[in-house]
Amino acid sequence: MKILQAPITTSELKKTAAALFGDMAKAVVDVDRRLIALDAELHSDLEALLLENGSSQNSLWGINLYPGRGADEFVEFDSMINIRPSQRNMGRGVDDQATRQKIMNIVHQWMK
Per residue of the chain (112 residues), what is the pLDDT tens digit? 999 999 999 999 999 999 999 999 999 999 999 999 999 999 999 999 999 999 999 999 999 999 999 888 999 999 999 999 999 999 999 999 999 999 999 999 999 8
Domain region containing 11: 2-110
Q: What is the pLDDT of residue 47?
A: 98
pLDDT of res. 109: 96
What's the total number of domains in the chain?
Answer: 1
pLDDT tens-digit readout, 63-90: 999 999 988 899 999 999 999 999 999 9
| Cβ 25 vs Cβ 13: under 8 Å | yes
Burial of 72 (0-12, 13-18, 19+ CB in 10 A): exposed
Residue 67 dihedral angles phi and psi, to the nearest 5°: -65, -15
Entry pTM: 0.96
The CB density around residue 64, as the number of other CB atoms within 10 Å, is 18
* CA dist., res. 43 & res. 99, Å (int): 18
pLDDT for res 112: 87
Give whole-number Cα distances, 68 to 7, 78, 85, 105, in Å.
17, 18, 33, 19
Cross-strand partners of 38:
2, 27
